[in-house]
Amino acid sequence: MSTHARHHQPATVTVLGLGPMGQALAGAFLDAGIATTVWNRTPGREAGLPGRGARVAGSAREAVAASTLTVVCVVNYDASDAVLRDEEVTAALKGRTVVNLSADTPARARDTAAWAERHGIRYLDGAIMTPAPSIGTPDAVFLHSGPREVYNACRPVLAALGGTHTHLGEEPSRAAAYDIALLDVFWTAMAGYAHALAVARAEGVSGRELAPFAQGIATILPPLFEEFAEDADDGTYSGGINPITSAASTMAHVVHASEDHGIDASLMRVIEGQARRVIARGHGGDGFIRVTDLLSRG
């Protein structure tokens, strides 16, 4: 049971949105002994939650009125707007706290924080960086941004969700900014892997054969992330033993090998193109991460 639940009985929380993530959040609150009310736009998505003690509200207004803290976890901010900006729901939320764990852009987070302020709603914006099964376990990762005082007040209840919670600052879009940047890393890596599996397959190499070596590539990345982050922050792009001229040449090999098999190489063509532009501007001796500078400045 959370500290809050032990010392400030009774802690109450409402979860709006019962997709896989909303269900996991509600389940973790229930497991921590917190009185939990749930609501979902489409009825019948509460799965086993009522059997575990959840109260199912008949409307979003009724749901938010049941608790001092409402956690929203729907597909995006169009969806959270559709729920929260309903006149009756907004009125019922006045003086209460909303933690929005739905994913969207930093601009949408800023807009929602401004809306909450206009309506006297205490607002924290958040992002969940790990999949639904991690919720309630030490593996879960949550990012939060918004007023420190609101975060501190919610923290004991949020602790029921397990894992690590990081408050990234008062600017409400910080969590979404991290989320977008980290999704960028994830999905471009996944796109690279999907492409690599297709190229390997075309050459008669199975995914299982490639996977151990792909994992070897993955272990090279963590120290490079550190080093490149410092280069990008400091504007020091020394190519050292791996200048971008050499990197562009290996990218061209991937393009040619793919296209020999009729495999779309447009992703690698884009990356090679960026490297060639860096070289054309006289920075061929710099490292690959000089591309960050190219993208930032155009």
C-alpha 77 chain-centroid distance: 14
Residue nearest to ligand NDP (CB): 19
| Chain residues in the site for ligand NDP (CB under 6 A) | 17-22, 40-42, 45, 73-76, 79, 82-83, 102-103, 128, 131-132
Identify whether the C-beta of residue 37 lies closer than 8 Å to the C-beta of residue 12.
yes
Full 3-state SS string of 8-64: CCCCEEEEECCCHHHHHHHHHHHHCCCEEEEECCCCCCCCCCHHHCCEECCCHHHHH
Q: Is the peptide bond before 10 cis (omega within 30 degrees of 0)?
A: yes
Kindly state the smallest distance separating residue 21's Cβ from ligand NDP, in Å: 3
DSSP string of 230-267, one letter each residue? HHHHHT--B-TTS-HHHHHHHHHHHHHHHHHTT---HH
Identify whether the C-beta of residue 75 lies closer than 8 Å to the C-beta of residue 18.
no
CB-based burial, 105-115: b 16+ in 10 Å, e otherwise: ebebbebbbee
CA dihedral 52, 57, 60, 65 (to 10 degrees): -90
Residue among 73 and 199 whose Cβ is closer to ligand NDP: 73
Residue among 18 and 289 whose Cβ is closer to ligand NDP: 18
Residue among 43 and 207 whose Cβ is closer to ligand NDP: 43
Residue among 73 and 244 whose Cβ is closer to ligand NDP: 73
Residue among 79 and 278 whose Cβ is closer to ligand NDP: 79
Residue among 179 and 286 whose Cβ is closer to ligand NDP: 179
